[in-house]
Chains A and B, each alone.
Chain A
């Protein structure tokens, strides 16, 4: 494995880790339930995406890369579905969203 590929995969891993960190920070800092969903969604799309991409480059052309590719594909389908289910449940139960100039939600 060449030095360039090692560097590229390391960059992907670091970028993925940074996005996970920012997402976690966002879940703490953003107000209200729905806005926190956006931060959480960023963790499992961009964060996890770059991490798996980094692993794929590290694994090289092998069956492991194929399995990681499927993992990414399942993540890309499963995580927005879970986010959608959460948002829909909150909406159906009448959860009051945070508004910039209105009564803010308690959670």
Chain B
């Protein structure tokens, strides 16, 4: 019930931000369509912590800036490799540990790896992610498990 309520609030907020037309008629259309969506979602029985991860919003807000900084750092590293006169890379596959338990945590972990230039998640296994890394250094940094620890903290930090 709590999740359904928050879903409605989030939908309505999103709708108001996207619309930009604030006349009574249009707003009532928005309220009605949000209510219908919440009702349909409730009937589909898909309202849970995974579709409405409100316990994790704060943790994600802390995690995102760190991830952005990592993306910028490794972008510079990849750019340096591409721009150097002689390309020196040492690509290969590694299997960093994945200790997340929920689907959401696993998706965030794998997508974080892919977002960071120089590493691409290839296949998810039960407890690790098959990852392709551009250089040995990037592979080593990934194996230190900074992303895993932070995503884990976010998953647990409700």
Identify the A interface with B (CB < 8 A): 19, 22-23, 25-26, 29-32, 34-35, 37-39, 41-42, 45-46, 49, 63, 66-67, 70, 76-77, 79-81, 83-84, 87-88, 91-92, 97-100
What A residues does B92 contact at CB under 8 A? Answer: 97, 99
Total A-B pairs in contact (CB under 8 Å)?
Answer: 102
- Structural contact, B78 and A67, CB atoms closer than 8 A: no
Docked complex Cα distance between A88 and B130 (Å): 10
The segment from B40-48, B108-116, B141-149, B150-158 that touches chain A is B108-116
- Structural contact, B78 and A26, CB atoms closer than 8 A: yes
With A35-B89, A87-B122 known, 6 other A-B pairs at CB within 8 A are A25-B83, A29-B82, A38-B118, A42-B117, A45-B115, A63-B18
Identify the B interface with A (CB < 8 A): 17-18, 20, 68, 71-72, 75, 78-79, 81-83, 87, 89-93, 110-112, 114-115, 117-123, 130, 132, 134
- Chain A contact residues, majority secondary structure: helix
